[in-house]
Copies of this chain bind each other. A is one copy, B any other.
């Protein structure tokens, strides 16, 4: 049997920490901004985690296992099932293990994920998703094709990353101060992004709309978010039928993607990202214990 353990979804800027009981219930959880960029001494950081959580086994997932993390853990190639991911888990210190990411080695469009595989495996373990297309919206949205219980293939769209880059270092920066709304202006942006393939031009027209047509800064932010998410959904759906698309993530972003899917004539089903992360981590620990 598995024992109580601590699972950490450890990204570049943030991390989420879950103390999980042997039966899979969450004993405690916390979020902080001690992502990879904030940390220089990983062993010291692990000691600090343990002084809070006790000397429990630690299972780490996310970019902590990337070439810009603590220890680079080789990707498990898709198609990847729970057992494949568990085999790839790397013990990096006494009682500390890192989950591998999954790679998709198609020469035409190779792709990689780290952390999302835990959520997809958790959603499968809980029976929340089945074979078909799943979307995990985010800095790097993942559109995952699940087939026969395995992560079969996937596609990353760097929507959130590009939004943040435009916000911090482009002519659109001063339009991207307000949090984008999930409203009619957003929906019009989505419609354009779903239908038209001129993103790098259409983003600029938003500035022209502010300068020449009186669009407000708040509406500009919503429209830009809509253009990017519309393109994301267009690319993610591709030519797939997928009448219902499960969305795994945080509620605010999932609501935007749900609206975008609706504009594309699909139905969305929102699944809480934390819940399936915990389930996936528990499933991996159980697999490791057998």
A259 to B25, CA, bound (A): 59
Quick check: A208 and B112 within 8 Å, CB to CB?
yes
Interface band, chain A: 35 or more
Per-residue interface assignment for chain A, residues 138 to 176, with 1 indicating a CB less than 8 Å from any chain B CB and 0 otherwise: 011000000000000001111101101110111110000
Quick check: A169 and B158 within 8 Å, CB to CB?
no
With contact pairs A164-B169, A168-B168 given, residues A200 and B232 touching in the complex (Cβ less than 8 Å): yes
Write the nearest CB–CB distance from A10 to chain B, whole angstroms: 16
With contact pairs A110-B209, A198-B235, A212-B103 given, residues A204 and B165 touching in the complex (Cβ less than 8 Å): no
Write the nearest CB–CB distance from A155 to chain B, whole angstroms: 6
Quick check: A169 and B168 within 8 Å, CB to CB?
yes
Known: A157-B201, A200-B231, A200-B235. 12 other contacts (CB 8 A): A103-B211, A109-B201, A109-B208, A110-B213, A139-B171, A140-B204, A156-B201, A158-B171, A162-B203, A165-B165, A165-B169, A200-B232
**5 tightest Cβ-Cβ pairs between the two chains A and B:** A197-B197, A165-B165, A110-B208, A165-B169, A168-B169
